[in-house]
């Protein structure tokens, strides 16, 4: 039976409003497919210059023939070094190349080139663009370093990727940096 008391406070289903707000927020999240596509594009943009560098240093020649005419590569091959140091140097070079290729877009629009092409950007949890330093040193670098850890590094990288199947479509590196990837028009 309905209460017809005109002085009674109106009642509403608060949960309904939370649900509508959550639906609107989730519509802003970039899709898993578009994030995957941007990662592929960013990888391509990194591999092309890397292959050019490999060619210039004679690494491609060494891989195919086992010999090299490059004095620089010969020096590297003759030097006895530690695997950890080699990984550290290669990581630093890869990070530097990433910054060289993607830095402009990261610092000006919180996007990598792949995200820009596919209409996405990285924002903080409140929807504001993040700084370039936050993008590189809080979002990107920690996962890069963690992925190089012996034994657990590969597992951490896999977990990072698999976490995208959660409702907000965010990965471990998003959680670490407190960021979201959203669609932009």
For residue 181, the model assigns a pLDDT of 93
- pLDDT per residue of the chain (185 residues) written in tens, 0 to 9: 556 777 777 665 554 444 435 455 566 889 999 999 999 999 999 999 888 887 777 776 766 776 767 676 666 666 656 666 667 777 788 889 999 999 999 999 999 999 999 999 999 988 888 999 999 999 999 998 888 888 898 899 999 999 999 888 889 999 999 999 999 87
Residue 148 lies in a domain: yes
Does 6 reside within a domain?
no
Question: What's the Cα-to-Cα distance from 124 to each of 113, 131, 132, 133, 157, rounded to whole Å?
Answer: 19, 10, 12, 13, 22
Residue 43 included in any domain: yes
Domain that holds residue 109: 30-183
Number of domains making up the chain: 1
Structure tokens that stand for 20 in this block: 């509508």
pTM here?
A: 0.74
* Domain membership flag for residue 98: yes
Residue 14 covered by a domain = no
Residue 10 confidence (pLDDT)? 67
């Amino acid at each position: 039976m309905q209460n017809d008391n005109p002085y009674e406070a109106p009642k509403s289903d608060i949960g309904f409003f939370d649900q509508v707000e959550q639906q609107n927020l989730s519509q802003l999240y970039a899709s898993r497919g578009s994030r995957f596509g941007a990662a592929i594009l960013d990888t391509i943009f990194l591999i092309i210059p890397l292959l050019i560098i490999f060619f210039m240093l004679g690494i491609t020649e060494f891989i195919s023939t086992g010999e090299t005419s490059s004095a620089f590569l010969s020096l590297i091959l003759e030097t006895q070094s530690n695997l950890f140091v080699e990984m550290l140097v290669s990581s630093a070079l890869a990070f530097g190349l990433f910054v060289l290729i993607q830095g402009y877009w990261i610092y000006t629009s919180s996007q990598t080139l792949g995200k820009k092409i596919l209409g996405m950007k990285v924002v903080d949890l409140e929807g504001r663009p993040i700084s370039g330093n936050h993008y590189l040193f809080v979002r990107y670098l920690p996962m890069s370093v963690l992925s190089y850890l012996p034994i657990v590094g590969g597992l951490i990288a896999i977990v990072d990727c698999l976490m995208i199947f959660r409702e907000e479509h965010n990965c471990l590196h998003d959680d670490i940096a407190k960021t979201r990837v959203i669609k932009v028009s």
